[in-house]
A and B are shown apart, each in its own frame.
Chain A
Amino acid sequence: MDTTILAEVNGNVATIGYGLAVIGPGIGLGILIGKTIEGIARQPEVAGQLRTTMFIGIGFVEVLGLLGLITGFLFS
Chain B
Amino acid sequence: MRPSRSHDHREHPLSSLATILPFATSEGEGFHAPTIADFFPAPVLFEGSFLEVNRLQIVRLIAALALVIFMVLVARRARLVPGRSQNVVELLLDFVRVNVAQEILGKERARKYVPLLTTLFFAILAFNLTGVVPLLNIAGTSLIGLPLMLALWVYVMYLGAGIRAQGLGGFLRSNLFPPGVPVFMYVLLTPIEFLTVFVLRPATLALRLMANMVAGHLMLVLTFSATQFFLLEASGAMKVFGALTLVSGIALTLFEVFVAALQAYIFVVLTAVYLNLSVEAEH
Mark A residues whose CB is within 8 Å of B.
Answer: 48-49, 52, 55-56, 58-60, 62-63, 66-67, 69-70, 73, 76
A69 to B212, CA, bound (A): 10
Which among B215, B266, B273 is the interface contact of A58 at CB below 8 angstroms?
B266
B53 within 8 A of partner (CB)? no
A59 to B273, CA, bound (A): 12
B104 within 8 A of partner (CB)? yes
Mark B residues whose CB is within 8 Å of A.
Answer: 36, 99-100, 103-104, 204, 207-208, 211-212, 214-215, 262, 265-266, 269-270, 273
A66 to B209, CA, bound (A): 10
Determine the chain B residues whose CB is within 8 A of the CB of A70 once the complex forms: 207, 211
Known: A59-B266, A66-B212, A66-B215. A52 touches B103 (CB 8 A): yes
Q: Check A63 against B204 for contact (C-beta < 8 Å).
A: yes
Q: Check A59 against B207 for contact (C-beta < 8 Å).
A: no
CB nearest neighbor in A for B103? A52
Q: Smallest Cβ distance from A69 to chain B, in angstroms?
A: 5
Determine the chain A residues whose CB is within 8 A of the CB of B36 once the complex forms: 73, 76
Q: Check A52 against B214 for contact (C-beta < 8 Å).
A: no
Known: A52-B269, A58-B266. A63 touches B207 (CB 8 A): yes
Determine the chain B residues whose CB is within 8 A of the CB of A59 once the complex forms: 208, 266, 269-270
Determine the chain B residues whose CB is within 8 A of the CB of A55 once the complex forms: 262, 265-266, 269
CB nearest neighbor in A for B270? A59
Q: Check A56 against B211 for contact (C-beta < 8 Å).
A: no
Q: Check B266 against A69 for contact (C-beta < 8 Å).
A: no
Determine the chain A residues whose CB is within 8 A of the CB of B262 once the complex forms: 55
Q: Check A69 against B99 for contact (C-beta < 8 Å).
A: no
Which 5 residue pairs are nearest across A and B when measured between Cβ atoms? A66-B211, A59-B266, A63-B208, A63-B204, A73-B36
A58 to B212, CA, bound (A): 13
**Could you list 20 further interchain pairs (A-B, Cβ under 8 angstroms) beyond the known A56-B273, A66-B208, A70-B207?**
A49-B103, A52-B99, A52-B103, A55-B262, A55-B269, A56-B266, A56-B269, A56-B270, A59-B269, A59-B270, A62-B266, A63-B204, A63-B207, A63-B208, A66-B215, A67-B207, A67-B211, A69-B214, A70-B211, A76-B36
